[in-house]
Amino acid sequence: MPPALLLLLSLPACDETETDHPWNDEGCAAAICGCWEVRTQDWSAEIVDDSDTAIEGATVSCSGSVLATSDASGLAAFAREGDWSPGCSWAECAWLTVEADGFAPQEVRAETANGGRVTLAAATD
């Protein structure tokens, strides 16, 4: 008989007494999202095309508000403060829209794209 495989999934533990976030209650550590906290995120990504050429002027936005515009090297960066939890990520702007003239807009997950590269495909009519 093959040995049993045990897979454990755990979220970072949090102690409700460590935070006074208004969304937390006594059971927040056991909830799917975990305990909420106010956190700062320094976000950056290189925006390039299919040929790995930097795209200058690409915008990174959330809910219609532009958070960053890429420079000549393709770098877009911003800092923000917001509500975050280990199981649910950011309460607002967990997904960002990256777009530039002549390219198809792309939705990216804020935490996944942070520190990486976002490749935009040419727009098709």
What is the per-residue pLDDT across 37-53, written as a single tens digit (0 to 9) for each? 898 889 999 999 999 99
Compute how many other C-beta atoms are within 10 angstroms of the C-beta atom of residue 122: 9
- The DSSP bridge partners found for residue 69 are 59
Per-residue pLDDT at 25: 67
What is each CA distance from 12 to 30, 32, 35, 70, in whole angstroms?
A: 11, 11, 10, 33
Of 27, 26, 37, 42, nearest to 78 (Cα)? 42
- Which pLDDT does position 15 carry in this prediction? 45
> Can you give the pLDDT at residue 12?
44
Q: Which of 113, 125, 121 is nearest to 60 (CA)?
A: 113
Q: Which two tokens stand for residue 35?
A: 């305990």
Task: Identify the architecture of domain 37-119 in CATH.
Answer: Sandwich (2.60)
For residue 74, the model assigns a pLDDT of 98
First to last CA, the chain: 58
pLDDT, averaged per 10 consecutive residues of the chain (125 residues), comes to 44 47 68 84 95 98 95 96 86 92 95 94 87
Nearest Cα to Cα of residue 14 among 38, 35, 31: 35
- Provide CB contacts within 8 A for 15, sequence distance 6+: 29, 35
Q: What does the pLDDT read at residue 5?
A: 42
- The per-residue pLDDT for 124 is 86
Q: What pLDDT sits at residue 8?
A: 37
Residue type, 70: S
Q: What pLDDT shows up at residue 16?
A: 42
Is residue 122 within 8 A of residue 77, CB to CB? The reply is no
> Which pLDDT value is given to residue 17?
42
| pTM for the full predicted model | 0.73
